Amino acid sequence: MSNLDMSNAVVSNSGAASPTVSELTASNPKLIADLTAVIAGRGLLRLQEPVRLASGAMSQDFIDIKRALCEWEALRLACQVIAEGVEAAGISFDAAGGMTMGADPLAVGIAAVCGSGWFSVRKTPKARGTNKLIEGTPLGVGQRVLLLEDTTTTGGSALRALEVVRKTGAEVVAFATVVNRGDSAQRSFSEAGVAFFAALTYEHLGIDPVVPPDVPGSGAGPLA
C-alpha cells in the first residue's frame, strides 16, 4: 500500500473555487487499485440469497466495509483516495464527518490525514446534557464541510446528515463515499447542489449496481 504523505492534501480556507455540482475523480490510479484490492479481499461477500440492505434494496453482494477498513493502513488508504480526489477538484474544507456510525472512522481518518476537524451526526439528539445532534467540531456559519459515508446506495442517510449540517449554517462543499453501490445517490446530491465523489464504484468491484426499492425491477418490496 502507498505511504503517501497527505498531511497537507487539503488546506482549509484556501479560497479555491469549488464546483457546485460535479462528479469528482480520484487522481492516483495506484491508490485506487490498492483500495479496490483491500475492499474486494477483506470486505466483499457473495451471498447465496439476496438480502435487504439498509436502503431497502436487495442484493446478493454484501460489503462489510468496517471489516475491510478496521486496520489503520487500510483506513488511511481510503482517506488518502478521498483526500486526493477532493484536492484535485480544488475543494477545501475545515471539518469532515457524517451520520454515525458509518462516517465515524472516516471522519477521524480524514482529520488525521488532512489536519482538519472531525464531527459525527447523531441519528437522534443526545438524551441528556446539551441534546446535541452533532458531536465533535462545532459547526456554524463560515465553515466548509466535507460530508462522508462508508458505502452509499441511495444516499438517504447522508442526505439526512446534510440537512442537519446545513441547519448549523455551515456550507457542505462536497460529499464523499468509499464505495458507491448504485447510480441514484449522485443524482440526489446533484439536485441538492453538492459535489459528489466516490473513491470506488460497483464497477471497480465487479458487482451489479444496487437498484433502489422504488425503481421497477428492483425486486424489493416494502420494508418489514
Q: What is the CATH number of the domain that holds 181?
A: 3.40.50.2020
pLDDT at 212 over 90: no
| Domain membership flag for residue 176 | yes
pLDDT in the model for residue 12: 34
Global pTM reads 0.83
Rounded Cα–Cα distance for residues 136 and 212 (Å): 32
Per-residue pLDDT at 5 exceeds 80: no
For residues 117 and 61, the answer to whether their CB atoms sit within 8 Å is no
Domain count, the chain: 1
In a domain, 129, yes or no: yes
Tell me the helix, strand and coil percentages in the chain, rounded to 5: 30, 25, 45
Residue 126 has pLDDT above 80, yes or no: no
Q: What is residue 120's predicted lDDT score, i.e. its pLDDT?
A: 98
Element (H, E) at 84: helix 72-88
Q: Quick check: 78 and 4 in contact, CB under 8 A? A: no
Residue 16 within a domain: no
219 in a domain, yes or no?
no
Name the more confident of 161 and 154: 161
Specify the amino acid at residue 166: R
Q: Is residue 105 part of a domain?
A: yes
Domain that holds residue 108: 23-205
pLDDT of residue 141: 98
Helix or strand (DSSP H, E) at 68? helix 65-68
User: Is the pLDDT score of 15 beyond 50?
Assistant: no
Residue 16 pLDDT greater than 50, yes or no: no
Q: How confident is the model at residue 158 (pLDDT cuts 50, 70, 90)?
A: very high
